[in-house]
Amino acid sequence: MAKQTFSGFEIVERQLAKLSRGTVKRLVEAGAKALVDSTKESVKTHHHIVTGNMEQSVKPGQYHETLDGGWMEVYPQGDDSRGVSNAKKAFVINYGYGGNKTAKTGDKFITGNKRKRQSAVAAAMEAENQKIINEANGGT
């Protein structure tokens, strides 16, 4: 009976051991940060700033983990100084309300530039992934 032995897998095993469940969280957080930046830029580009409260409140929500991975929602959080929900304001501006669509409402400032936003998130996650790989290989 033939016998084969392999060496060198110890290095790979150590590298894989460094990749923990926190890796997925780091990737998701990097993507969420890019989405926050993209959303804030979209608010400014579409001139949806009166007090700046909605723009400043765009943040990632709580991190959720499943067996398949993780996810975070990014949206305007909290209420403005008058007690109006920032998320509700963003929803109405994005989708409009009822049949009353004006130049300032229903303009899809969030959902309209989907490809650009997806590209920004993917690029951020790829950059973070490369950083994680470099760290696992002993680099910085």
Domain boundaries, the chain: 18-136
Instruction: Give the total residue count for the chain.
Output: 140
Mean pLDDT value across residues 76-91: 92
Mean pLDDT value across residues 11-18: 56
Asked if residue 85 has pLDDT above 90, the reply is yes
DSSP lists the bridge partners of residue 76 as: 58
Give the count of alpha carbons within 13 A of 59, CB side only: 9
Q: Using alpha carbons only, what angle is made at residue 111 by residues 79 and 67, rounded to the nearest 5 degrees?
A: 85
pLDDT score at 76:
94
Asked if residue 11 has pLDDT above 60, the reply is no
Q: Compute the distance between CA of residue 59 and CA of residue 51 in angstroms, rounded to an integer.
A: 17
DSSP lists the bridge partners of residue 85 as: 79
DSSP lists the bridge partners of residue 79 as: 85
pLDDT score at 5:
41
